Chain A
């Protein structure tokens, strides 16, 4: 008995095909960009204009609206990197490999932003651009992990082997995430303790919490937009010589 080509499974498999993902990502991108822009507009206006000044830190605390979302994203993206790496190792999924490789530079950018904005906040508040406290140091190590992953994957010629080596590094580095998160509880740190991500009511004013969450959402949509765009590039590059890409290209120029 021959396989019915239009079974559920066959249709599902085709959804995962490169041209389908390419077209789907392209269709979603304009909407995700608009939502991202709207969230940034709302978050920035609420955070910079509407929210009150802090009674201790004055207006300088407003760096929180870019510092905290960047830091959250630096960790979220690393989880995606490690998760996609694990999936690519266990199930050999090409898409998982692509997601992992595409995520690393983006995660590195968020980590750099967390460190840079934190430094600009630390100087007026703590009097220091940098301290080797547990939170800052473990976030810096996160940046090194991202850069190390990118360097390792770039250093190995065979694409498959490179992805697998990188995947192992990414998975091993996951231990850093709970260290970053709990650093302010386990050690005596200059960096302040948890105010939002804890098993209790957030100890931040609602008028400041809402713009913070809006900006967190904006950053998440930014990551989504970037990933959709990068996955499209990855697919185009690895499928350069296929007929569907050829058709796509000639269709556009006609």
Chain B
């Protein structure tokens, strides 16, 4: 197991490479999902306000 993390002595090159890749790929995927949730939250708030101002 420790051998795996050592990566034959190249650990300081291999693991940062994998780490920066993982972070970049996750952030790139999650960012638009969060943005969509935020837009819908904002639009809900606006719609709710309009309903309050013009109660049915």
Give A residues with C-beta under 8 Å from B: 33, 48-49, 53, 58-60, 62-63, 66-67, 70, 105-106, 109, 112-113, 116-117, 120-121, 123-124, 222, 225-226, 229-230, 232-233, 236-237, 240, 245-246, 248-250, 252-253
Contact = CB atoms under 8 A, between A and B. Distances in A.
B17 A66 contact: yes
28 contacts: A33-B29, A49-B4, A53-B8, A59-B7, A59-B9, A60-B8, A60-B10, A62-B7, A63-B17, A67-B17, A113-B20, A113-B24, A117-B17, A225-B29, A229-B33, A232-B36, A233-B36, A236-B36, A236-B39, A236-B40, A237-B39, A245-B43, A246-B47, A249-B40, A249-B47, A252-B44, A253-B44, A253-B48
Nearest to A108: B28
Contacts of B47: 246, 249-250, 253
Contact of A233 (B7, B25, B35): B35
A38 to B, nearest CB: 15
Contacts of B10: 58-60, 124
Contact of A63 (B4, B14, B39): B14
B56 to A, nearest CB: 12
B30 to A, nearest CB: 9
A245 B44 CA distance: 10
- Contact-residue bracket for chain B: 20 to 34
A62 B8 CA distance: 11
Interface string B12-52: 01101110110011001100110110011001100110000
A123 B13 contact: yes
Residue from B10, B20, B29, B39 whose CB has the most chain A CB atoms within 10 Å: B10
A166 to B, nearest CB: 19
Nearest to B38: A233
A232 B35 CA distance: 10
